[in-house]
Amino acid sequence: MWAYETSFYQIYTLGFCGAPFENDGKLEHRILKVIDWIPHLKKLGVGAVLFNPIFESDTHGYNTRDYHKIDIRLGTNEDFAKVCKALHKEGIRIILDGVFNHAGRGFFGFQDVLEKRWDSPYKDWFNINFDGNSNYNDGLWYEGWEGNYDLVKFNLKNPAVADYLIDSVKSWIEEFDIDGLRLDVAYCLDTEFIKRLRRETDSFKSDFFLTGEMIGGDYNRIMSDELCHSATNYECYKGMFSALNSMNLFEIIHSLLRQFGPENWTLYKGRHLISFVDNHDVSRIASILNRPEHLKLIYTIMFGMPGIPTVYYGSEWGEKADKSQGDPALRPCFEKPQWTELTDTIASLCKAKNESKALNYGGFKSLLLTNRQCIFERECEGDRALVVINADEGSFHANFDARAGKGVDLISGKEIDFGGGLELSPYTAYIISKLQ
């Protein structure tokens, strides 16, 4: 699967393009801005763009009105087709946000129910009680996602709903040639719907990639050979920054051993979870870490551990934003991309991920672990990589069994000699490969 051998770049599309929060009904061709960023994506070395919602919606994209029409604030279907063609020309794949648990109040089917009540052919598309009332005083009650009544929950057990949504996906593949989907709130979706979506998308496009949003719990609920290929690794998202801020690397290494370690009982061995240090729903990592020197380290851990590393737009140059400022602060419009020393590091990490069989498919083995230092090994079919972290402000001498004495750091390109141990400067991050 192509997705296992690259890294993703996530764009919250409405924010990235500077669209107004409320759908003002005015056509603007903002989505074409993505084309201007393609040289940046190429230089960074990512292999796919994950677009958060792009279809016509009431406000933030997750309250969809029309699953067949690009949001008018972003442009037209023809505009997005042009974007997809330009990305594909440069070898960059396209993943869309599939919002299938719920629609917006402006969705045509729900509007029909509000108008025709019992006589609407769409009344069974949702979970409705005509004897109740809603927060919007509709004269009927309906189920909203987690109590949010601007998000009208679909009845996915209704074959007509599943038909409509899967036909929509088929149209996206036919019209835009998309390569995958992220399933929003996948932990809420009906399992049989996910199974059908996997079967159908496999038949539409043989290498089509499905991943799902999982906030917690067992990711195997939505991930298997019959379900999604992948799921969001929120456990290690929290574990990475928490371990660095508390100077307790045991926290993240324990999670990685639990998920991918060499024992037979590990949860996700052989699976490829979505790895991330921030996204459109959480504070940017540069605002969370107590020490800015740890930025390079946390990205090295993310790219070095098993999974599909995902970079959120703007964070590659260290942009800051806190969740307490509200979601719009996390989803800004940047005039143009920036490039910093951190971006250099992430570009090197993308290159390493693209070229290393060990980073793409290797197992996980801990070689050295203290509160402030860790070394772990990834190995696959003779290809090996050592991920080395010194989170301390002081130097550290690492003694560990690595079966070799020299290698090349894939981040800096420098030769590293660790025969007899490894001298680590403060805030060091290596991925050592080409071991001799």
Q: What is the mean pLDDT of each run of 10 residues along the chain (436 residues)?
A: 97 98 96 98 98 97 97 98 98 98 97 96 96 93 93 97 97 98 97 97 96 95 97 97 98 97 90 98 98 98 98 98 95 97 98 96 96 96 94 93 83 89 94 82
The pTM is what? 0.96
Q: Which fold has domain 103-155?
A: Oligo-1,6-glucosidase; domain 2 (3.90.400)
Give dist(CA 212, CA 102) in Å, integer: 15
pLDDT value for 186:
97
Identify whether the C-beta of residue 85 lies closer than 8 Å to the C-beta of residue 39.
no
Q: What is the CATH number of domain 2-102+158-361?
A: 3.20.20.80
Q: How much is the pLDDT for 418?
A: 84
Q: Six-digit token pair at 111?
A: 């509007």
DSSP-derived secondary structure letter, 4: G
Per-residue tokens: 267: 């949860």
Quote the pLDDT of residue 419: 80
Instruction: Tell the CATH superfamily of the 365-433 domain.
Output: Golgi alpha-mannosidase II (2.60.40.1180)
d(C-alpha 141, C-alpha 117), whole Å: 11
Close Cβ partners of 102 (under 8 Å, ≥ 6 residues apart): 62, 63, 144, 145, 151, 152, 153, 154
In contact, 306 and 259? CB cutoff 8 Å: yes
Look at the alpha carbons of 104, 105, 111, 114 in this order and tell me if their dihedral is positive or negative: positive
Q: What is the pLDDT of residue 147?
A: 86
pLDDT number for residue 265: 85
Burial environment of residue 206 by CB neighbours within 10 A (0 to 12, 13 to 18, 19 or more): exposed
Strands 308-312 and 274-276: parallel
| Whole-number pLDDT of residue 436 | 58
* Alpha carbon distance 424, 374 (integer Å): 11
First to last CA, the chain: 30
Q: How much is the pLDDT for 300?
A: 98
176 SS3 class: helix
User: Position 18: which residue type?
Assistant: G
Three-state DSSP class for residue 73: coil
Using an 8 Å Cβ cutoff, are 99 and 64 in contact?
yes
Give alpha helix (H) positions in 45-140. 77-89, 108-116
Rounded to 10 degrees, the C-alpha dihedral 281/161/68/21 comes to: -30
- CA angle 349/364/431 to nearest 5° reads 30
Same fold, 2-102+158-361 and 103-155: no
- Residue 235: burial class (beta carbons within 10 Å; 0-12, 13-18, 19+): buried
Using the Cα atoms of residue 292, residue 293, residue 294 and residue 295 in order, give the sign of their dihedral: positive
Please report, for residues 195, 276, 332, the alpha-carbon distance to residue 312 in angstroms, rounded to integers and kept in the order given: 29, 8, 11
d(CA 1, CA 421): 37
The domains of the chain are located at: 2-102+158-361, 103-155, 365-433
